[in-house]
Structure 1
């Protein structure tokens, strides 16, 4: 069984990655973990293990808690993946406060991640109430809430931000995944306006910078030419003068883009001294470039270069 990972507190040093999004994130783990016909056999085995029976082995563990597939999925993972809801509920009920709930498969997904992916908010709620750790991350650094924000899963989002009293919520909201995006960035990239508003109201920093290039949610909205999202973020208090690591304000990202309304709105709100595009770091004047003469006295191995 795989070990448990938590979101890193340290920021990723990814200033120079300019693409949007930084990388594709895979969220289909385990869904094809069983070959054709194997699920029927699994169901029979689950029945034979009598999940509702309190049988334990010499170590005090139920047999179904000890078995995993070649993909690292437990019986609980598989019950969720294949929507065997009754079996999943029984296992959750018998695992209150048990570390079994936090076992991660080989893609580092917990049962909670899979319940969000498979759109089963009732199981999400049961898992959270039973003690499943909402801070655990998958192989891409996503908590279950990150996954809900990327997929637009409002029902699971509501559970993860409200039940029970959203323990650890503030820290989860600030966590960047391994691509540098926090929950607000993911919701913005995917255009979920109501989720963006909810996240800000829940305490997400509207001006937090993604770690690929230092863009805020407003930068991302401009980059994606999402006029509605630009309006919503500005109304929620987004800083129009926030700069990326390269020194670009959201207004600068409107150049060469088609939506003139976004450009006009940001022009009016951007500080006057920020309206001009910053000079490219790669553009240097001729006088700034070294001349050949500057290298005349270069020594190699203690001797002057051959030109001398």
Structure 2
């Protein structure tokens, strides 16, 4: 009998209304470093489960929530022949299920042509491509990117100035990163914190995205070097960010492609060697000193060398290391430094 396969909690002719969602760990807030706005929107898609004979409305939440009675709901949905394996999906309003005939009592809607406006945005400035990427709907995102006529819709920035490429890097979807670049997305756009997608990829240690972004310049060496020199709102280049997070493999790739090891930040003129010496980071100092173009006597805007910063931080081992690599040791340098700024 068909009735035996139906949960006793669900009447034969009753409507089943439930909000079923599984929390997706990829959408935890800390992954986005507070750069992804809090979404509280639903985008509804009609789906016809032909195998189960049930017509349903599937709602996809940007930020799924954990259901308190998820096991019971899963059993009920499975009993009536609906797969509930997809994370991030909630199923609502399963109506008019005929338990005796297992047929749909509501006529199946006729297929209709859907006109998609890829340039349209919601109240947060997000386009359909933004939504698909941040919802981890990779197939939908790739399909939307594929039908894009030009790159304008790929470069739309939301109210946080994030373009689809920023979100693809933030969510570690390298395939989408490559698809956007191939379609002509602008890799130099900056979000509200001044970060390019390359800054974010360096911070997250995403080597595949870093290589794809760098490769997008092809043989344009000057354009690539200018890209490496872009500074965010903290005055840091991608080289500074990669060094800060000790992404040495990424640093090596950037240097191999022409990044300047001696470039200073925009606030103080500190190079990555200055930062490493000041932070008593012997591992980074040692690696940087192997670079053939490293300037051990490069100065900040105040005229301080890495040796001076290491000295005022009582980093004796780094002082010795720098001196062994030819750093200038002069008492005049220390007399000119303002040690009130060091503790």
Task: Give the drift of 1:92.
Answer: 0.3
Partner residue of 1:273 out of 330, 339, 342: 330
Q: Higher strand fraction: Structure 1 or Structure 2?
A: 2
Residues 243, 250 of structure 1: 8 Å contact kept: yes
**Residues 166 and 31 from structure 1, CA distance in 2 versus in 1: closer, same or farther, beyond 3 angstroms?**
farther
Q: Secondary structure at the match of 2:269?
A: coil
Which residue is equivalent to 1:244? Answer: 300
Tell me whether 1:147 sits opposite 2:200 in the alignment: yes
Q: Is the 8 A contact 1:149 1:195 kept in 2?
A: yes
User: Which of 62, 68, 72 is matched with 2:125 structurally?
Assistant: 72
CA contact (8 A) 2:195 2:232 kept: yes
* Contact map agreement 2:236 2:265 (CA 8 A) in 1: yes
Q: Is 1:112–1:144's contact at 8 Å kept on the other side of the alignment?
A: yes
CA-to-aligned-CA distance 1:86-124 (integer Å, 9 cap, x gap): 110111001153300000000101000100000001100
Residue of structure 2 equivalent to 1:172: 227
Structure 2: stretches of 5+ with no match in the other structure: 1-31, 47-57, 61-111
- From the superposition, tell whether residues 278 and 107 of structure 1 become closer, same or farther in structure 2 (CA, over 3 Å): farther
Decide which of 239, 249, 268 is 1:194's aligned counterpart: 249
Matches for 1:28-177 after TM superposition, within 5 Å: 28-30=34-36, 32-35=38-41, 38-39=42-43, 56=115, 62-63=116-117, 65-163=118-216, 165=218, 168-177=223-232
**C-alpha separation between the residues in 1 aligned to 2:33 and 2:303?**
33
Q: Deviations over 1:256-283 (max 9, x none)?
A: 5364321210133212437741424699
Shift of 1:221: 1.4
2:262 to 207, 213, 222: 207
Aligned with residue 275 of structure 2, among 220, 224, 227: 220
C-alpha displacement at 1:66, in angstroms?
4.1
Give the structure 2 partner of residue 304 of structure 1. none
Aligned mate of 1:231, from 261, 264, 286: 286
Count, aligned residues: 244
Shift in CA distance, 183/170, structure 1 to aligned 2, threshold 3 Å: same
Comparing both chains, which one has the higher relative contact order based on Cα–Cα distances under 8 Å and sequence gaps of 6 or more?
A: 1
Q: Which runs of 5+ in 1 are unaligned?
A: 1-25, 46-52, 57-61, 284-308
Q: Give the TM-score normalised by the residue count of structure 1.
A: 0.71
Structure 2 length as normaliser, TM-score? 0.64
Q: CA deviation at 1:165?
A: 2.4
Over 3 Å counting, the alpha-carbon distance change for 1:161 and 1:54 in structure 2 is: farther
- Please tell me whether Structure 1 or Structure 2 has the larger radius of gyration of its CA atoms: 2
| Alignment RMSD | 2.7
